[in-house]
């Protein structure tokens, strides 16, 4: 009920429309019961007593009732649809904003497809609960109360007989509602899994085809789809049993009313008009009852979706600004990592790291996979927060300044180039869409990207496809470098920016990177050690600890961890005519 009350509170900003909609629903519900009242004069005054005066006003009354009822139904539909759609739109915005606020660890634990399902499927179920269900709940409740008043006014004894049936419906409605909520939760979870599977296999279609796994993926999809089919059939079964159950219970009441009411007419204790007016009201009565049964199921589905949506909306981000956090001034001195330990899921990834990086210095991080290189670099833009210790930029703890000002001073180029399904121009200007045409072109020239861009069908206005699929690896990387150049941030992070490229593409990209690194504090993660020979300092990490640091020549002379990594990497190449370079390095 708390979740449902929270859904209702979402309509508070639209109380004027909601009030007007309620007035429309009350009028429409009350007019529905007035049709049953007209049955008595139609039968008794027109057909039995043949009263011409009644014949004149009854048709006009029927026309008036249907006209006003139609206007009210139209009004409440428009008003409640507006409220429901506005609530859903606002909730989608809020949900998306909240997802964007989360740290990288959140996305590690929540697959993309699951989050997409929250924004699409779960929110749709909320819309049904917040507009359609509430509309039916109010309108049918008013209709129900009005019809009950009619049947008690018409014949209170018959009304008592009919009302005996209603308590019998409470237990099955409650049981069916709980069952529907459970099925709805399972259905939404399965939809999320299915969305995640679709996202993975469609975006990774090259790997699927390369490994001949189409049949395997078809079977995985079919298995999840079959599970969704079974859950949907359970939901259909729960809904389907509601109708015949209510009709059977209603039939018991109607049978009793026909017997007792017919007996009174035969005995002369009641008129046919009174009996049929009562019977019409009773038959009308069971329709809103059945709809209210379905409303319960819809509300339960909405609550199941709302609980999943609210679980994210209510989630406090792991990494967030402190209240009133000031902006970070432009970096002029250094980045200081002081006794930093970082744990991921209780496992220490970095241990007691102490490091100072001067402004303008190029520092490279090397080590075997899992050594903590990327984790250390990810702490600087606060993709994660340190577990203990602190990171200072010019003496400012990065947790004390606003993340926007911190990240505005950091540009990142990664191995996995992330581009968007948009034009070349908009991808380069991503982060500052107001940059001028000349600034964008200058950045592209510096990134060695301008020439190939001019060969594209629409040049800078060419759409590059999802994740830049219309470009080669080297071209995508140069677009991302142009994007970083245009940002003109004082701190640059290069995360294995050339490791996935062939030799020719690497040469072009490395030239662009050299342009990008000029005058910037640069942190480089590199597997290809040949790309960091000219770094001011190289940091070797093993199991989350710094084991040695120095420049290329000094570390080779130490014959420690860096020497081992360098020797391992060039061992095979040394056997293939590159041993001369290796020998030269080792002298």
Confidence at 68, pLDDT banded by 50, 70, 90: very high
pLDDT at 261 over 70: no
Query: Of 45-54, 336-345, 405-414, 421-430, which range is least confident?
Result: 45-54
Distance (Å, rounded) from C-alpha 216 to C-alpha 79?
Answer: 49
Distance (Å, rounded) from C-alpha 383 to C-alpha 511?
Answer: 28
Helix (H, G, I), strand (E, B) or coil at 266: helix
Residue 267 lies in a domain: yes
Residue 256 lies in a domain: yes
Q: Among residues 201, 218, 211, which one has the least CA distance to residue 112?
A: 201
pLDDT of residue 383: 87
The secondary structure of 480-536 as a DSSP string is: HHHHHHHHT-SEEEEESTTTTS-HHHHHHHHHHHHHHHTTSEEEEE-SSGGGGTT-S
Section 337-353 average pLDDT: 87
Domain count across the chain = 1
Section 480-505 average pLDDT: 75
Higher pLDDT, 81 or 512: 81
Residue 571 lies in a domain: no
pLDDT at 406 over 70: yes
Confidence at 500, pLDDT banded by 50, 70, 90: low
Higher pLDDT, 441 or 271: 441
Q: Which residues contact 174 (CB under 8 A, 6 or more apart)?
A: none
Distance (Å, rounded) from C-alpha 349 to C-alpha 7?
Answer: 42
Residue 579 lies in a domain: no
Section 86-99 average pLDDT: 86
Distance (Å, rounded) from C-alpha 224 to C-alpha 585?
Answer: 56
pLDDT of residue 209: 66
pLDDT at 41 over 50: yes
Higher pLDDT, 267 or 548: 548
Q: Which domain holds residue 295?
A: 2-187+239-313
Confidence at 92, pLDDT banded by 50, 70, 90: confident
Confidence at 330, pLDDT banded by 50, 70, 90: confident
pLDDT of residue 503: 60
Residue 278 lies in a domain: yes
pLDDT at 30 over 70: yes
pLDDT at 482 over 50: yes
Section 240-269 average pLDDT: 68
Give the distance from CA 543 to its chain's centroid: 36
Report the length, in residues, of the chain. 587
Distance (Å, rounded) from C-alpha 22 to C-alpha 44?
Answer: 35
Distance (Å, rounded) from C-alpha 514 to C-alpha 354?
Answer: 28
pLDDT at 88 over 50: yes
Residue 469 lies in a domain: no
Q: What is the mean pLDDT of the chain?
A: 79
Distance (Å, rounded) from C-alpha 161 to C-alpha 166?
Answer: 10
Confidence at 401, pLDDT banded by 50, 70, 90: very high
Q: Which residues contact 169 (CB under 8 A, 6 or more apart)?
A: 245, 246, 249, 289, 293
Query: What is the percentage of the chain residues whose pLDDT exceeds 90?
Result: 5
**Is the backbone of residue 221 left (phi > 0), alpha (psi -120 to 50) or beta?**
alpha
pLDDT at 58 over 50: yes
pLDDT of residue 391: 92
The DSSP output letter for 423 is B
Residue 165 lies in a domain: yes
Residue 28 lies in a domain: yes
Distance (Å, rounded) from C-alpha 552 to C-alpha 530?
Answer: 10
Section 206-215 average pLDDT: 67
β-pair type (545-550, 396-397) = unpaired
pLDDT of residue 20: 92
pLDDT of residue 580: 41
In tens, the pLDDT along 564-585 reads: 888 877 664 444 434 444 444 4
pLDDT of residue 314: 87
Distance (Å, rounded) from C-alpha 534 to C-alpha 373?
Answer: 19
pLDDT of residue 326: 92
The domain that holds 86 is classified in CATH as 1.20.1560.10
pLDDT of residue 584: 45
Section 169-182 average pLDDT: 62
Helix axes 272-313, 134-154, angle to 10 degrees: 160
pLDDT of residue 392: 92
pLDDT at 90 over 70: yes
Structure token digits, residue 362: 């190029």
pLDDT of residue 409: 87
Q: Is the pTM of this model over 0.75?
A: no
pLDDT of residue 587: 41
pLDDT of residue 105: 81
In tens, the pLDDT along 350-381 reads: 988 899 999 888 898 988 877 888 889 889 98
């Amino acid at each position: 009920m708390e979740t449902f009350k929270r859904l209702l509170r979402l309509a508070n900003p639209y109380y004027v429309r909601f009030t007007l909609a309620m007035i429309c629903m009350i009028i429409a519900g009350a007019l529905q019961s007035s049709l049953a009242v007209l049955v008595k004069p139609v039968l008794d005054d027109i057909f039995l007593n043949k009263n011409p005066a009644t014949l004149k006003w009854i048709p006009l009354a029927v026309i008036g009732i249907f006209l006003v009822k139609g206007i009210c139904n139209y009004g409440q539909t428009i008003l409640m649809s507006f409220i429901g759609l506005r609530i859903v739109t606002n909730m989608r915005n809020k949900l998306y904003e909240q997802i964007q606020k989360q740290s990288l660890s959140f996305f590690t634990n929540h697959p993309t497809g699951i989050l997409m399902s929250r924004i699409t499927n779960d929110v749709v179920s909320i819309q049904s609960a917040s507009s359609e269900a509430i509309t039916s709940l109010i309108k049918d409740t008013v209709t129900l109360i009005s019809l009950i008043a009619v049947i008690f006014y018409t014949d209170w004894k018959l009304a008592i007989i009919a009302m005996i049936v209603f308590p019998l419906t409470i237990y099955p409605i409650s049981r069916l509602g709980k069952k529907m909520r459970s099925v709805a939760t399972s259905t939404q979870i399965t939809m999320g899994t299915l969305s995640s599977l679709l996202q993975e296999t469609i975006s990774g279609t090259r790997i699927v085809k390369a490994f001949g796994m189409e049949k395997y993926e078809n079977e995985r999809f079919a298995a999840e789809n079959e599970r969704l089919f079974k859950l949907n059939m359970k939901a259909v079964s729960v809904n389907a049993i509601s109708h015949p159950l209510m009709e059977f219970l209603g039939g018991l009441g109607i049978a009793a009313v026909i017997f007792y009411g017919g007996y009174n007419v035969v005995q002369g204790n009641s008129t046919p008009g009174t009996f049929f007016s009562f019977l019409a009201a009773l038959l009308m009565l069971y329709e809103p009852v059945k709809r209210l049964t379905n409303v319960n199921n819809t509300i339960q589905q909405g609550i199941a979706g709302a609980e999943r949506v609210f679980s994210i909306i209510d989630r406090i981000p792991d990494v967030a600004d402190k209240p009133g956090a000031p902006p970070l001034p432009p970096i002029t001195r250094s980045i200081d990592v002081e006794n930093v330990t970082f744990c991921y899921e209780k496992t220490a990834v970095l241990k007691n790291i102490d490091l100072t990086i001067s402004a303008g210095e190029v520092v490279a991080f090397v080590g075997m996979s899992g050594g903590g290189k990327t984790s250390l670099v990810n702490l600087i833009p606060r993709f994660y927060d340190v577990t203990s210790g602190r990171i200072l930029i010019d003496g400012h703890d990065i947790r004390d300044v606003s993340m926007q000002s911190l990240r505005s001073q950091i540009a990142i180029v990664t191995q996995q180039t992330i581009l968007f399904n948009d034009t070349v121009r908009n991808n380069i200007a991503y982060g500052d869409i107001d940059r001028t045409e000349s600034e964008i072109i200058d950045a592209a020239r510096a990134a060695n990207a301008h020439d190939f861009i001019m060969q594209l069908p629409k040049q800078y206005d060419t759409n590059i496809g999802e994740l830049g699929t219309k470009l080669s690896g080297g071209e995508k990387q140069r677009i991302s470098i142009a994007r970083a150049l245009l940002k003109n941030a004082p701190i640059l992070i290069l995360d294995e920016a050339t490791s996935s490229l062939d030799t020719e593409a690497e040469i072009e990209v490395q030239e662009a990177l050299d342009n990008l690194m000029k005058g910037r504090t640069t942190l480089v993660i590199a597997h290809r050690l040949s790309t960091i020979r000219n770094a001011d300092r190289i940091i070797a990490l093993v199991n989350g600890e710094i084991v040695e640091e120095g420049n290329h020549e000094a570390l080779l002379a130490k014959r420690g961890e860096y020497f081992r990594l360098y020797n391992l990497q060039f061992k095979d190449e040394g056997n293939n005519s590159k041993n001369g370079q290796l020998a030269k390095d080792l002298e």
